[in-house]
A = this chain, B = another copy of it.
Amino acid sequence: MKNKQAEEIFRKFLKSGKNRITPERFEVLEAALEFEGHFGADDLYIIMKNADSSVSRATVYKTLELLAQCELISKRHFGDNITRYESSFKKQVHDHLICVDCGKIIEFSDPRIKQIPEEISEGLGFNFESYSFNIFGRCKDPKKCKNYRKK
C-alpha cells in the first residue's frame, strides 16, 4: 500500500459504519488514488483486471461509492451520463472546463464561485450539500484538440 494516510482514513470510515475491512476495498482505493485524472468506474475495473487483479466489477462499483462517501475521491458528472471519479485526497477544491470537441478536462478555481452555493441554498431554505460547476467550450488551438470525442 502506497498511501498509508488515505488507507487510514478509509479504515476509520469503514469501522465507523458497519463495514468490514477487506483486501478488495483497499485494492480499489489504491487503484483510484493512482489514477491521474478522471475515470469511470468501469475504466478502473478494466485497468485493475488488466493488472491481474481479481476484484470484481460489482466490488469496484460499490467501493468507489464508499470512497466518495468518505471524500477520498469525488464524484463528477460532465453531461454525458457517465459517473466519473477523481482522487480528492490532498487536492484543493476546483471546477472543470470540458472541451466539447476533444473531451479534454481542465481544472480551474475561481474565488468568486466559492461563496455562491451556500448563500443561495440558505436563501432558498435548503441546507447546502454540494455543487457542480462545469464550463463547456472548444479548444481554440486546433493542434491541441484531438476531436477524439467526435464519434
Q: Is the CB of A137 within 8 A of B141?
A: no
Q: Say whether chain A's binding surface is mostly helix, strand, loop, or mixed.
A: strand
Copies in the complex: 2
Known: A77-B79, A82-B81, A126-B139. A121 touches B133 (CB 8 A): no
Min C-beta distance of A144 to chain B, whole Å: 8
Q: Which residues of B contact A135 (CB under 8 A)?
A: 117, 120-121, 126, 128, 130-131
A124 within 8 A of B: yes
Chain A interface size band reads: 35 or more
Chain B min CB distance to A69 (Å): 13
- Interface CB pairs A-B, < 8 A, 7: A108-B120, A108-B124, A112-B112, A112-B116, A126-B139, A132-B133, A133-B134
Binding site for B on A (CB under 8 A): 75, 77, 79, 81-83, 97, 99-100, 106, 108, 110, 112-113, 116-117, 120-121, 124-141, 144
